[in-house]
């Protein structure tokens, strides 16, 4: 990894490609045949055409032609690292998950941090939400905690997700990011204002990936062996301290060091400065969930830490860089439905939508056998009758029966009660499209958040908002302005003034 000329490189951060190569043996083709010459193609005479019989040339070119795989439809740009999770406080009274069974127990993890909207080459200092994914390789298979650096989200129904993401990507005609699409959607979906306020505030540009918290955002269940459960929201709090980048510095870095966060993570780990996060849960019983003053499964809202304080669970430490970016980071497949016994989904509608979407996209992005790719392979093994498909590379079950039940052996089901539905007091009622009305409740937390900011931060927030909002048609500005006023009069006034200062005809 070579930095741009104007970026100082940490002399201690030597990557493996910069380590002098030792003799690794003779070069071969993909079929293992020795390559006699990797400098010159075979031709018919000095001026003659290149020959089809030069298999090495054809093989090398054709292989190169197929190097790119589809990028992630969201969170395309990211960086990853290996490490471990260690239990620091006993929560075995809440869950039968074996990796959480005793204090001091360590589980290997792989994490990936990302920027949501941009493509694989987008600058790391873009104003955007950051992804925070952790794959726990437990003895009961993988648990993927696929969260963000914000405790909430823009929308609360999965049916809106494709539309929302379209507005964050490029305009279908101009191929440019488009403030009108963005604010048109947000102004028509006012429950987004809480997350929009975080995004437009100083928290919208974290200083690299080490200086931000991570959240499951949704409630998940922790389940005991007898089926009793509680809901928990996971918080991973950075031990490096929160740091953000101001807009001027972010813009400069986007030009001079667009891989700022990727470099920062890699360099820190390479020189032994291992980033760590303390993991906590907020615990909500099903009875408390039913009685709470708003729906605790609405991911546009935080559940107050005064009502549900943080309980420490463990510590996440990242201590090893990937050896190969593509093999480990690009091919990593995180999925909220990869869960171990003792962890289960809540009825959060967004989470429910995600339970389908990720494995679906992995089958498209990496192929149906994506579980067999080493970075995704559970250390506990895989034992079932699923067979064949593109790139089945693990022996494909050999001669064992590929159906079940059968009379000749093979794996069988555990018959352990399906925890997800045991004693469920929440999910009952009529099947219908139960709408979420937008109420004053949707603005109360925006007001609280806004009033945490200093005078200077409020001004900066208003001018960041006005910069893009002023580029949209006046009817969108007017519609959105009402939401700021509804959240807080002062918020509305400052945005209105900033819009006018930015030349708006509002």
Catalytic residue positions, numbered: 75, 148
**Site membership for ligand HEM, residue 72 (CB under 6 A):** yes
Q: How far apart are CA 366 and CA 355, in angstroms?
A: 18
Burial-class residue 54 by CB neighbours within 10 Å (0-12, 13-18, 19+): middle
Please, which residue, 136 or 484, has the CB nearer to ligand HEM?
136
Least Cβ distance, residue 169 to ligand HEM (angstroms): 13
- Applying CB under 6 A, which of residues 334, 370, 443, 491 lies at the interface with ligand HEM? 334
**Site membership for ligand HEM, residue 262 (CB under 6 A):** no
Q: Which stretch binds ligand HEM (CB under 6 A): 27-35, 131-139, 405-413, 475-483?
A: 131-139
Q: How far apart are CA 117 and CA 164, in angstroms?
A: 10
Q: Select the residue whose beta carbon is closest to ligand HEM and give its number.
A: 131
Residues 211-250 interacting with ligand HEM (rule: CB under 6 A): 217
- Applying CB under 6 A, which of residues 110, 136, 234, 358 lies at the interface with ligand HEM? 358
Q: How many CA atoms lie within 13 A of 500 on its CB side?
A: 6
Which residues is 223 bridged to in the sheet?
229
Taking residues 151 to 170 in sequence order and writing x for each that binds ligand HEM by CB under 6 A, - otherwise, the string is --x----x--x---------
User: Which residue, among 309, 300, 307, 310, has the nearest Cα to 446 in the 3D structure?
Assistant: 300
The DSSP secondary structure of 193-247, one letter per residue, reads HHHHHHHHSGGGSBSTTTTS-EE--S-EEEE-TTS-EEEEEEEEEESS---B--H
Please, which residue, 132 or 491, has the CB nearer to ligand HEM?
132
Least Cβ distance, residue 57 to ligand HEM (angstroms): 33
Token output for 94: 């809440």
Least Cβ distance, residue 71 to ligand HEM (angstroms): 8
Check: CB of residue 282 under 8 Å from CB of residue 235. yes
Check: CB of residue 145 under 8 Å from CB of residue 337. no
Please, which residue, 207 or 328, has the CB nearer to ligand HEM?
328
Listed as own residue / partner, the contacts of 326-329 with beta carbons closer than 8 Å and 24 or more positions apart are: 327/373, 327/374, 327/375, 328/80, 328/82, 328/110, 328/375, 329/78, 329/79, 329/80, 329/112
- Applying CB under 6 A, which of residues 147, 204, 275, 342 lies at the interface with ligand HEM? 147
**Site membership for ligand HEM, residue 327 (CB under 6 A):** no
Least Cβ distance, residue 24 to ligand HEM (angstroms): 31
Q: Which residues contact 286 (CB under 8 A, 6 or more apart)?
A: 229, 230, 231, 424, 425, 426
Least Cβ distance, residue 310 to ligand HEM (angstroms): 18
Eight-class DSSP state of 52: T
Least Cβ distance, residue 463 to ligand HEM (angstroms): 28
- Applying CB under 6 A, which of residues 81, 96, 283, 332 lies at the interface with ligand HEM? 332
Residues 12-71 interacting with ligand HEM (rule: CB under 6 A): none
Token output for 186: 């947000």
Least Cβ distance, residue 144 to ligand HEM (angstroms): 8
- Applying CB under 6 A, which of residues 133, 192, 321, 463 lies at the interface with ligand HEM? 133
Please, which residue, 96 or 152, has the CB nearer to ligand HEM?
152
Q: In angstroms, how far is the first alpha carbon of the chain from the final one? A: 48
CA distances for 45 relative to 37, 51, 54, 472, angstroms:
16, 10, 14, 64
Q: Which stretch binds ligand HEM (CB under 6 A): 95-103, 204-212, 243-251, 329-337?
A: 329-337
For residue 447, cis peptide bond before it (omega within 30 degrees of 0): no
Least Cβ distance, residue 264 to ligand HEM (angstroms): 17
Chain position carrying tokens 């089958």: 363
Please, which residue, 78 or 296, has the CB nearer to ligand HEM?
78
Please, which residue, 142 or 217, has the CB nearer to ligand HEM?
217
- Applying CB under 6 A, which of residues 56, 75, 127, 263 lies at the interface with ligand HEM? 75
- Applying CB under 6 A, which of residues 353, 367, 368, 410 lies at the interface with ligand HEM? 353
Q: How far apart are CA 419 and CA 417, in angstroms?
A: 6
Please, which residue, 132 or 277, has the CB nearer to ligand HEM?
132
Number of residues interacting with ligand HEM: please give it, by CB under 6 A: 29
Least Cβ distance, residue 353 to ligand HEM (angstroms): 4
Residue 112, H or E segment: strand 106-115
Check: CB of residue 111 under 8 Å from CB of residue 152. no
Token output for 378: 């559970």
- Applying CB under 6 A, which of residues 13, 145, 146, 465 lies at the interface with ligand HEM? 146
Q: Which residues bind ligand HEM (CB under 6 A)?
A: 72-75, 78, 112, 114, 131-133, 146-148, 153, 158, 161, 217, 299, 332-334, 350, 353-354, 357-358, 361-362, 365
């Amino acid at each position: 990894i070579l930095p741009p000329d104007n970026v100082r490189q940490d002399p201690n951060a030597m990557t493996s490609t910069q380590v002098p190569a030792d003799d690794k043996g003779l070069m071969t083709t993909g079929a293992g045949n020795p390559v006699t010459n990797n400098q010159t193609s075979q031709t018919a005479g000095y001026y003659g055409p290149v020959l089809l019989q030069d298999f090495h040339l054809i093989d090398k070119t054709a292989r190169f032609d197929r190097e790119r795989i589809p990028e992630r439809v969201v969170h395309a740009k990211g960086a990853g690292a290996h490490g471990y999770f260690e239990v620091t406080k006993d929560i075995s009274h809440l869950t039968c998950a074996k990796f959480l069974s005793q204090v001091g127990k360590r589980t290997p993890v792989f994490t990936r941090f990302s920027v949501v909207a941009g493509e694989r080459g987008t600058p790391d200092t873009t104003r955007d939400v950051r992804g925070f994914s952790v794959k726990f390789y437990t003895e009961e298979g993988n648990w993927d905690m696929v969260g963000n650096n914000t405790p909430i989200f823009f929308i609360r129904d999965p049916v809106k997700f494709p539309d929302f993401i379209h507005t964050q990507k490029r305009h279908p005609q101009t191929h440019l990011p488009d403030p009108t699409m963005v604010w048109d959607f947000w102004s028509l979906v006012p429950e987004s204002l809480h997350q929009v306020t975080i995004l437009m505030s100083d928290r919208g540009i974290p200083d690299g990936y080490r200086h931000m918290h991570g959240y499951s955002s949704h409630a998940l269940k922790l389940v005991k062996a007898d089926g009793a459960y509680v809901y928990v929201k996971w918080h991973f709090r950075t031990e490096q301290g929160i740091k953000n980048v101001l807009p001027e510095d972010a813009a400069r870095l986007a030009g001079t060091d667009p891989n700022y966060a990727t470099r920062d993570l890699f360099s820190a780990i390479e020189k032994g400065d291992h980033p760590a996060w303390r993991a906590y849960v907020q615990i909500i019983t099903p009875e408390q969930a039913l009685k709470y003053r708003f729906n605790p499964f609405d991911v546009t809202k935080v559940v107050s830490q005064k009502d549900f304080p943080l309980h420490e669970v463990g510590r996440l430490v990242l201590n090893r860089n990937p050896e190969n970016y593509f093999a480990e980071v690009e091919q990593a497949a995180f999925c909220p439905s990869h869960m171990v016994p003792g962890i289960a989904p809540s009825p959060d509608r967004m989470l429910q939508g995600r339970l389908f979407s990720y494995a679906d996209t992995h089958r498209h992005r990496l192929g149906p056998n994506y579980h067999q790719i080493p970075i995704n392979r559970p250390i506990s093994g895989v034992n079932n009758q699923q067979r064949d498909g593109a790139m089945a590379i693990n022996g494909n079950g050999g001669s064992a029966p590929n159906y079940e039940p059968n009379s000749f052996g093979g794996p069988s089901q555990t018959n352990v009660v399906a925890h997800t539905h045991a004693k469920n007091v929440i999910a009952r009622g009529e099947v219908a499209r139960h709408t979420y009305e937008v109420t004053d409740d949707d603005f109360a937390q925006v007001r609280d958040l806004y009033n945490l900011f200093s005078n200077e931060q409020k001004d900066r927030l208003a001018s960041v908002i006005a910069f893009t909002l002023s580029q949209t048609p006046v009817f969108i500005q007017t519609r959105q302005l009402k939401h700021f006023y509804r959240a807080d009069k002062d918020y509305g006034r400052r945005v209105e003034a900033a819009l006018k200062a930015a030349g708006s005809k509002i």
